[in-house]
Structure 1
Amino acid sequence: MALSEGDRISWNTSQGTTYGTTVRKRVSEFEFDGQTFKPTKDDPYWIVESEKSGKQAAHKESSLTKE
């Protein structure tokens, strides 16, 4: 799957499906919201922004679906 910045995406949460937008792709180790993430070349992380809350979170690309 090829995602780009600004794509509308969805992901599953314990509350159901959440929709949002891709903000930034991360391919090397980084810290976000007090946690350390270790992306791989085959499964990068994306910083995404929720449409509902406006909050940002980090998710593996493999957990995101392009809408």
Structure 2
Amino acid sequence: MTKFHKGDDVSWKTSQGETSGTVERTTTRPLKIKNNNIEASKENPKVVVKSAKTGAEAAHKPDALKKN
């Protein structure tokens, strides 16, 4: 599994195509982004990213992200 660090430039696929942004943090604890409950654990970490286009935060599985 790829390790991501705060500030890493990454991209991911969306229903509208590929988008990019920066890593804010990696979490192993559940959290809430907007109205979405994000389930995260040591066995299932999530990477919180900030979209370069919209500035919105989202959480993704590390496998869904690609370092640019």
**1:5-26: CA deviation from partner (whole Å, max 9, x where unpaired):** 1000000001111010001211
Amino acid at match of 1:20: G
**1:30-63: CA deviation from partner (whole Å, max 9, x where unpaired):** 1221121111324311221111122211212121
**Could you say what secondary structure the match of 2:5 adopts?**
coil
Could you tell me how far apart the structure 1 residues matched to 2:21 and 2:13 are? Answer: 11
Deviates more, 1:49-58 or 1:34-43: 34-43
Aligned residues: 67
RMSD: 1.3
Q: TM-score normalized by structure 1?
A: 0.86
Percent identical pairs in the alignment equals 36
User: In the alignment, is residue 58 of structure 1 matched against residue 59 of structure 2?
Assistant: yes
Where does structure 2 lack aligned partners over 5 or more consecutive residues? none
Could you tell me how far apart the structure 1 residues matched to 2:67 and 2:44 are? Answer: 15
Where does structure 1 lack aligned partners over 5 or more consecutive residues? none
